[in-house]
Amino acid sequence: MSTKNIVNPQFCDVYYNKVIRYEMVADAPWSGPQRNAHRRDGLPGAPRLLRPNAKEGTGNVADLTPPNDPGHWTEILANDWRVRISELNNLAIKSLTTQVAVHGLTPMEFDLLRVCDALDRECTATELVRFLPVDPARISRLVNTLVDAGLLIRRRTLEDRRIVMLRLSEKGRDLTSRIMEDITQYNAGLIEGIGPDELQVFLQVTSRIIANLEALAEPE
């Protein structure tokens, strides 16, 4: 299979503009006049980078404009691990969005239902915030939508009417189970032809990357 069939050329163009171009620009020892020359002479959406110590008007620039060949960046970026991870994430989100949309849900609504199903008990909105990457206000809106759809049941405790408990309705539990079965079958197709050893290496590498990201995110 050719690389062009593996990596989406449009994705590569976006990645070029959002990441590579700015990494190259960020590494350049620009002075104020050089930055101004870049803004004045560079093409919109495809700026040019002055070489180190270049003077204005000398034409001593490194052109960062992508080649006209649409497959150029596709071939180069296919071997960039960041592209592979980003595209894998994008495709996974797109796939989940498609699968849950059939049932009138968004990915975040389904994630909330899945958390409630995994807890297998009543919970509060505050607990859900710990499991989902959204703020309490967003959780409240998601809960309202799912309650209105009959997928969640909400009740106030007798001890404290301010406390609201949530649990899946039978309809919500059935729907969550059916979607999970569809996702399990889909995921089995994703790893078809990939051996256990290859999966183990993938898990080890991605685990290290995640650990490094978490370490970098920690305040010094």
Q: What is the pLDDT of residues 117-147, one digit of tens each?
A: 999 899 998 899 888 888 899 999 999 999 9
CB-based contact 47:20 (threshold 8 Å): no
- 107 and 180 assigned to the same domain: yes
The residue from 31, 61, 79 where one domain ends is 79
56 falls within a domain: yes
pLDDT average, residue stretch 149-161: 88
Give one DSSP letter per residue of 133-151, joined into a string. SS-HHHHHHHHHHHHHTTS
91, 182: one domain: yes
Give the model confidence (pLDDT) of 171-212 as tens digits. 999 999 999 999 999 889 989 999 999 999 999 999 998 899
Residues 100 and 56 in one domain: no
Cα–Cα distance list, 133 to 67, 76, 100, 140 (Å): 39, 33, 18, 13
Looking at the structure, tell me whether residues 63 and 10 fall in a common domain: yes
Report yes or no on 216 lying in a domain: no
Same domain? For 58 and 99 the reply is no
pLDDT of residue 17: 53
Cβ-based neighbours of 63, under 8 Å, separated by 6 or more: 48
Residues 90 and 171 both lie in one domain: yes
Q: HEC profile for 28-84?
A: CCCCHHHHHHHHHHCECCECEEECCCCCCCCCCEEECCCCCCCCHHHHHHCCCHHHH
Structure tokens at 15: 């990645």
**Residues 99 and 177 both lie in one domain:** yes
Same-domain check for residues 145 and 159? yes
Q: What is the CATH number of the domain that holds 90?
A: 1.10.10.10
Alpha carbon distance 86, 28 (integer Å): 25
Q: What is the pLDDT of residues 74-107, one digit of tens each?
A: 555 666 777 788 888 888 889 999 999 999 999 9
Q: Judge whether residue 68 has pLDDT over 90.
A: no
Same domain, yes or no: 105 and 181: yes
Name the residue type at position 49: L
- Do 65 and 98 lie in a common domain? no
Q: What percent of the chain has pLDDT over 70?
A: 64
Q: Which domain range does residue 34 map to?
A: 3-79
Whether residue 141 is found in the same domain as residue 183: yes
